Chains A and B, each alone.
Chain A
């Protein structure tokens, strides 16, 4: 017989729900509270902000009064706007919501993001704690072989401020760093008229990757000013804190990490799981984004791509579907309907999954009200009972035997 519980849609939904509940639980143990943002946001809110979702990526809608709205392309921006206008600037928020984008082939993509935003404090302690929260959640999900790459948005920005290049040249330098393209970096840099120190720093950025302490040592040789020294100091402090959490195995430093979201101002990071090609999480510190709305608010956050996490768990054989069968199915003759239905109501009150007079769905236990006999629990032998208490007793005994 066709079992509707084997519907792959139901199964996928259940697996996704379970994954999200693991994430929710972990986020809340770090003091974060769940929040929702509207599905439709003002187009101007996004287009007036520099360094955020590009205009072409947003899905626009026109409302009856002629205003342009977008289908929520991101959650960080509206949350930052809310906090920067609020009197309560110290808040820990999390969300699990769908975001909508349009790619260069004009295909609309819908993906679920699960993220946190920690507003109100700028300290290495908070930076490390947020990174640890990401690691903690990935461990909760049972994932093996994952790494968090940690970098700093300021490191590259400081170098760029020391040199005179055109917008096009800057884009080219960024592209070469992001692809760690040392081969083409060399000839390209020699074509530019910038200081030898800056050239050397840019040349080294792509290879400053791997063990945190080694990377810091390498980077120290290249600092061009005090700001860069402070940045390295901050990264070292974060690394020490991560060590205190015993999480060093999961951390790599990558000073060539440049997030395409331009609003990041401090530590930035992304997480990779083995055999999943794209980052499963991205985040960082963005202390100045609030200024673009009203007040500056120190803030750091990250978001998981839930669909990539599902893919990662599937590849590691972790997406075990839950038992979807009902606990009890009650079969009754017409003359026993009142008894049977009131019993089903009461059993559901106790938390049992109950169906009545349905043969097409699987159930673990069967209760029968037939003829004038006292009701009984089916099984290898009929187990009659007279009161609700007796039935509960029998069900518990049966569970005990099964375990």
Chain B
């Protein structure tokens, strides 16, 4: 058996993924979501687990630094990585949405200013609609942008809508549904077929159980 490397997103989503991994029967020493360690091996050394920044997971997998990645669809879409997307883990469900002040309008023909952590996602979405936009890339507190007039709208992930409501914003358009996905490097799929398939099967079984 060849060893497979699995990249997981650090932080909040890791918790439910770790739960799921435990259910598959693979044991990783010291593995819990509060650990500061970034690298773990399972008991028989057939699996290596690495924790990286969520947006980097698709990049690690595309370049082959990891065979498999478990990460949110939002990051897969933003990275535009060329990978296989084989399984929906049905966790971390939310959606991309265009949001802004309730009565905000922009004269037609004028480019929209969009504040977002996801510039690629925003560009693709509006390009499809034939709407020109200018992107303001922000790294957090995106909801502030329409309020202080930095942008017309925001493109962001919306889970419960609470953050939007508390800041007086509403969803103007629902975009893609998001959840945690399993992605696979294309070379690993060809050269480590057996190992990769087996891991996916284990996860499937764990999800049903």
* 23 cross-chain CB contacts under 8 A: A145-B2, A146-B191, A179-B83, A179-B84, A180-B84, A181-B86, A183-B181, A210-B193, A252-B193, A272-B186, A272-B190, A273-B191, A274-B2, A274-B187, A274-B191, A274-B192, A275-B187, A276-B187, A277-B61, A277-B187, A277-B188, A278-B64, A278-B187
Cβ–Cβ < 8 Å partners of B190 in chain A: 147, 149, 252, 272
* A168: interface (CB < 8 Å): yes
Cβ–Cβ < 8 Å partners of B65 in chain A: 277
Residue of A nearest to B90 (CB): A183
Do A183 and B186 contact each other (CB < 8 Å), given the known contacts A210-B193, A278-B63?
no
The answer on a CB contact under 8 Å between B84 and A279 is: no
* B91: interface (CB < 8 Å): no
* B88: interface (CB < 8 Å): yes
The answer on a CB contact under 8 Å between A183 and B87 is: yes
* A178: interface (CB < 8 Å): yes
Q: Which of B61, B86, B128, B187 contacts A273 (CB 8 A)?
A: B187
Cβ–Cβ < 8 Å partners of A178 in chain B: 82
Interface string of B170-204 (1 = CB under 8 A from A): 00000000000100011110111100000000000
**Taking chain B's interface residues, is the majority helix, strand, or loop, or is none over half, making it mixed?**
mixed
Q: Which of B64, B84, B86 contacts A276 (CB 8 A)?
A: B64
B residues lining the A interface (CB < 8 Å): 2, 61-65, 82-88, 128, 181, 185-188, 190-193
The answer on a CB contact under 8 Å between A168 and B187 is: no
Cβ–Cβ < 8 Å partners of A273 in chain B: 187, 191
List CB contacts (< 8 Å) of A339-388 with chain B.
none
Nearest 3 CB-CB pairings of A with B: A277-B64, A272-B187, A274-B191
Cβ–Cβ < 8 Å partners of A219 in chain B: none
Taking the closest CB of chain A, its distance from the CB of B55, in whole angstroms, is 15
Docked Cα-Cα span, A274 to B196, in Å, equals 13
Taking the closest CB of chain B, its distance from the CB of A340, in whole angstroms, is 54
The answer on a CB contact under 8 Å between B85 and A279 is: no
Docked Cα-Cα span, A77 to B190, in Å, equals 29
* A71: interface (CB < 8 Å): no
Taking the closest CB of chain A, its distance from the CB of B6, in whole angstroms, is 14
Taking the closest CB of chain A, its distance from the CB of B24, in whole angstroms, is 19
Residue of B nearest to A183 (CB): B88
List CB contacts (< 8 Å) of A53-108 with chain B.
none
Docked Cα-Cα span, A277 to B2, in Å, equals 15
Docked Cα-Cα span, A272 to B63, in Å, equals 12
* A395: interface (CB < 8 Å): no
List CB contacts (< 8 Å) of A226-281 with chain B.
252, 272-279
Cβ–Cβ < 8 Å partners of A216 in chain B: none
Given A168-B128, A278-B64, 5 more pairs with CB closer than 8 A: A179-B83, A181-B84, A183-B88, A275-B64, A278-B187
Docked Cα-Cα span, A252 to B197, in Å, equals 15
* A15: interface (CB < 8 Å): no
Interface string of A172-212 (1 = CB under 8 A from B): 00000011111110000000000000000000000000100
Taking the closest CB of chain A, its distance from the CB of B179, in whole angstroms, is 9
Taking the closest CB of chain B, its distance from the CB of A247, in whole angstroms, is 15
Cβ–Cβ < 8 Å partners of A181 in chain B: 84-86
Do A145 and B191 contact each other (CB < 8 Å), given the known contacts A275-B64, A276-B64, A277-B62?
yes
Q: Which of A149, A183, A210, A277 contacts B185 (CB 8 A)?
A: A277
Cβ–Cβ < 8 Å partners of B187 in chain A: 272-279
The answer on a CB contact under 8 Å between A180 and B64 is: no
Docked Cα-Cα span, A276 to B85, in Å, equals 19
Cβ–Cβ < 8 Å partners of A149 in chain B: 190
Taking the closest CB of chain B, its distance from the CB of A269, in whole angstroms, is 11
Residue of A nearest to B120 (CB): A104
Taking the closest CB of chain B, its distance from the CB of A357, in whole angstroms, is 49
Cβ–Cβ < 8 Å partners of B83 in chain A: 179
Taking the closest CB of chain B, its distance from the CB of A203, in whole angstroms, is 15
Docked Cα-Cα span, A206 to B192, in Å, equals 18
Docked Cα-Cα span, A74 to B87, in Å, equals 36
Cβ–Cβ < 8 Å partners of A252 in chain B: 190, 193
Cβ–Cβ < 8 Å partners of B185 in chain A: 277
Cβ–Cβ < 8 Å partners of B61 in chain A: 277
Docked Cα-Cα span, A210 to B128, in Å, equals 35
Taking the closest CB of chain B, its distance from the CB of A172, in whole angstroms, is 9
Docked Cα-Cα span, A344 to B187, in Å, equals 52
Docked Cα-Cα span, A277 to B64, in Å, equals 4
Docked Cα-Cα span, A181 to B87, in Å, equals 8
Docked Cα-Cα span, A210 to B186, in Å, equals 13
Cβ–Cβ < 8 Å partners of B192 in chain A: 274
Taking the closest CB of chain B, its distance from the CB of A358, in whole angstroms, is 44
Cβ–Cβ < 8 Å partners of A184 in chain B: 85
Docked Cα-Cα span, A119 to B71, in Å, equals 45
